[in-house]
Structure 1
Amino acid sequence: MSTRRTVLSALSAGVLAAGGVVALGPAPAWAAESRPVGFASLNGGTSGGSASAVVTVTTASALKSALSSGTSQTVRVSGLISISGMYNVASNKTVIGVGSGSGITGGGLNLSGVRNVILRNLVFRNAADDSINIQSGTTNVWVDHNDLSNGYDGLIDIKRGSDFITVSWNRLHNHDKSMLLGHSDDNGSQDIGKLRVTYVHNWFEGTGQRHPRVRFANPVHVLNNYYSNIGSYGVASTENAGVFVERNYFENVGKPTVTQTGDSDPGNLKVLNNYRVNSGTEQVRNGASVAAIPYSYTPEANNTVKATVQAGAGTGRI
């Protein structure tokens, strides 16, 4: 398998190992998987909305109606639609941008207590709150090939017992607090045993912190991401979380990983073969407490991650 090829693409090739574990095989130098990889491929998988029920929306009212409909469907977003507040997304939806410049400005998407949602190829700009908020026991979500910037709060926040989620091939830029995983130090009763997320092939470009910032979740897999010119820190593990930071590319990152931030208690963090250019030392803690990753995968070589992610992350790639 070429090191320039991305990993985690077996589902697009239709390969499934015994016991439901994903067997991952070769793919192009930048991927446009037809199905999610990592945690979103488990727990019955994430297929999104029906491909035969398709609606194209160009206005805020049409978008709001399509997203909240109880129909399993694919919602095609055409153009950059200005909205106010957070629009709720129902279960069994695929929301996909048309071309490279379609998406949402001024507001965000809220996934609360739903299942089986795919968000792809969307631009998110200038959200007044979160750009994407996944909460309240939501499961099986794939957030893939989006471009997010300039939000008020988090760009992709996952919290309140949500689970089995993959965040892949997104470009995050011009923002401070990028991605929260677990919202509060007091929410362990709901979050312990949940919040299992795969972060793979994302590009964090000049962002400040939370890439991600983790509470309680174990394991969280941070694999083959590119971090460039990060202001505060890369990955944070707190509140006894277990985070595996593997073969990422850190460039101009003073603190690639930290095991405590804010008022939170420390978390556990294990690193393996990350590539560092003009970057500081990784903090690690009690790597034996980081649970094993429950799917098979073949990681990309760390020194090729930058080129792969720059070529493939963001919109216009699927």
Structure 2
Amino acid sequence: MSQTKVRRRITIAAAAAATALAAGGILFAGQSTAFAAESSPVGYASLNGGTTGGSSSTVVTVTSASALKSALSSSTSQTVRVSGLITISGMYNVASNKTVIGVGSGSGITGGGLNLSGVRNIIIRNLVFRNAADDSINVQTNTTNVWIDHNDLSNGYDGLIDIKRGSDFITVSWNRLHNHDKSMLLGHDDGNSSQDLGHLRVTYVHNWFEGTNQRHPRVRFANPVHVLNNYYSNIGSYGVASTMNAGVFVERNYFENVANPTVTQTGDSDPGNLKVLNNYRVNSGTEQVRNGASVAAIPYSYTPEANNTVKATVTAGAGTGKI
């Protein structure tokens, strides 16, 4: 290839990247542009071999609880398309190598939730979660490489997206969480350091927390956790909590009507470490920080969105029907 053609390709790629950033995108290593509907995960779920989900050539569409339960637990690498709002009871186990995706903007699960335990390589996208009797999405027991993206979650009994028990390499992106108390737990118990230290690495990016109360996320032990370019609106108790010597980097988020954007202690847990950078605050309180030098460096390359554009980007792109 001639040098002229190489230069032209570089110039075109740079222009596309600049356009994406101006529109509210994030550039991560290996991506030329990024939009509200990424075709693959950014952040931690892109590491450790990546997160590809189930086979796109083996596809099953489910419309009933029994069919959903069977498809999720199958040992086959496959894509499970959920059509309609399916009522289930309890937690349905999801086996490794699955993509679970809603059809349209109103498909999903009500009455129960999804349990990911000791599995790997799972994508959960474009699903509505309502009225779970326990957690809406529970990621536990050394589960790795999970991408939870573009879902709409509310009115669960316990957590909406809980990640615990040594799980790792997870990205939570473009989700809308609303009408709920305890949104997202990262690390379930103060006494679980032996399993959790060195794990629980999660990227939270471009999520919309709308009128929720606490745990956005609430972190134990993990270091570093990356909370980037999320929009917090009308939060009750607090935004982000770092406890049990965790290390959390809260970067370029948009806090609106949030009295306590970040806290370094909650409940009976020991305090954690928390570093902030260029968050945008509207009618919101002061951020708590603690020993920011103890927050480890983020291990992937990225270019964040400007903090003052996050609200518009997230409200336009988060939730179902956007992929």
Taking the aligned partners of 1:245 and 1:148, their CA distance within structure 2 comes to 22
Taking the aligned partners of 1:25 and 1:209, their CA distance within structure 2 comes to 35
Q: 1:293 aligns with which of 295, 298, 302?
A: 298
Structure 1-normalised TM-score?
Answer: 0.95
Partner of 1:99: 104
Taking the aligned partners of 1:7 and 1:240, their CA distance within structure 2 comes to 32
Q: Give yes or no for contact 1:7–1:24 (8 Å, CA) kept in 2.
A: no
Any stretches of 5+ residues in structure 1 without a counterpart? Answer: 11-21
Any stretches of 5+ residues in structure 2 without a counterpart? Answer: 1-17
Shift in Å at residue 6 of structure 1? Answer: 3.4
Q: 2:27 aligned with 1:27, yes or no?
A: no
Partner of 2:88: 83
Q: 2:23 aligned with 1:5, yes or no?
A: yes
| Residue 235 to residue 99, structure 1, CA distance change in 2 (3 Å) | same
Taking the aligned partners of 1:4 and 1:270, their CA distance within structure 2 comes to 26
What SS does the aligned partner of 2:146 have? strand
| Residue 24 to residue 281, structure 1, CA distance change in 2 (3 Å) | farther
Structure 2-normalised TM-score?
Answer: 0.93
- Paired letter, 2:207: N
- Paired letter, 2:64: T
Tell me the matched-pair count: 305
Taking the aligned partners of 1:27 and 1:169, their CA distance within structure 2 comes to 13
Q: 1:277 aligns with which of 279, 282, 286?
A: 282
Shift in Å at residue 25 of structure 1? Answer: 3.9
Q: Give yes or no for contact 2:217–2:239 (8 Å, CA) kept in 1.
A: yes
Question: C-alpha deviations, 1:289-316, integer Å up to 9, x for none?
Answer: 0000000000000000000000000000
| Residue 25 to residue 273, structure 1, CA distance change in 2 (3 Å) | farther
Q: 2:252 aligned with 1:247, yes or no?
A: yes
What SS does the aligned partner of 1:56 have? strand
Shift in Å at residue 9 of structure 1? Answer: 5.2
Q: Give yes or no for contact 1:139–1:164 (8 Å, CA) kept in 2.
A: yes
Partner of 1:309: 314
- Equivalences for 1:154-193 in 2 at 5 Å? 154-193=159-198
Q: 1:44 aligns with which of 41, 49, 60?
A: 49
Taking the aligned partners of 1:116 and 1:8, their CA distance within structure 2 comes to 23
Partner of 1:118: 123
Taking the aligned partners of 1:55 and 1:219, their CA distance within structure 2 comes to 37
Q: 2:143 aligned with 1:138, yes or no?
A: yes
What SS does the aligned partner of 1:190 have? helix
Question: C-alpha deviations, 1:58-117, integer Å up to 9, x for none?
Answer: 000000000000000000000000000000000000000000000000000000000000
| Residue 231 to residue 237, structure 1, CA distance change in 2 (3 Å) | same
Partner of 1:129: 134
Q: Give yes or no for contact 2:27–2:303 (8 Å, CA) kept in 1.
A: no
- Equivalences for 1:49-68 in 2 at 5 Å? 49-68=54-73
**Over aligned residue pairs, what C-alpha RMSD do you find?**
0.9
Superposed structure 1 runs of 4+ greater than 4 Å apart? none
Taking the aligned partners of 1:297 and 1:55, their CA distance within structure 2 comes to 35
Partner of 1:13: none
Taking the aligned partners of 1:301 and 1:156, their CA distance within structure 2 comes to 26
Taking the aligned partners of 1:283 and 1:32, their CA distance within structure 2 comes to 32
What SS does the aligned partner of 1:152 have? coil
Partner of 1:227: 232
Taking the aligned partners of 2:262 and 2:179, their CA distance within structure 1 comes to 21
Shift in Å at residue 214 of structure 1? Answer: 0.0
Q: Give yes or no for contact 1:8–1:38 (8 Å, CA) kept in 2.
A: no
- Paired letter, 2:270: D
Taking the aligned partners of 1:39 and 1:263, their CA distance within structure 2 comes to 29
Taking the aligned partners of 1:309 and 1:25, their CA distance within structure 2 comes to 20
Question: C-alpha deviations, 1:41-69, integer Å up to 9, x for none?
Answer: 00000000000000000000000000000
Partner of 2:273: 268
Taking the aligned partners of 1:247 and 1:78, their CA distance within structure 2 comes to 36
Question: C-alpha deviations, 1:8-49, integer Å up to 9, x for none?
Answer: 455xxxxxxxxxxx3444334xx1111001000000000000
Q: 2:217 aligned with 1:199, yes or no?
A: no
Taking the aligned partners of 2:22 and 2:206, their CA distance within structure 1 comes to 13
Taking the aligned partners of 1:139 and 1:26, their CA distance within structure 2 comes to 26
Q: Give yes or no for contact 2:27–2:304 (8 Å, CA) kept in 1.
A: no
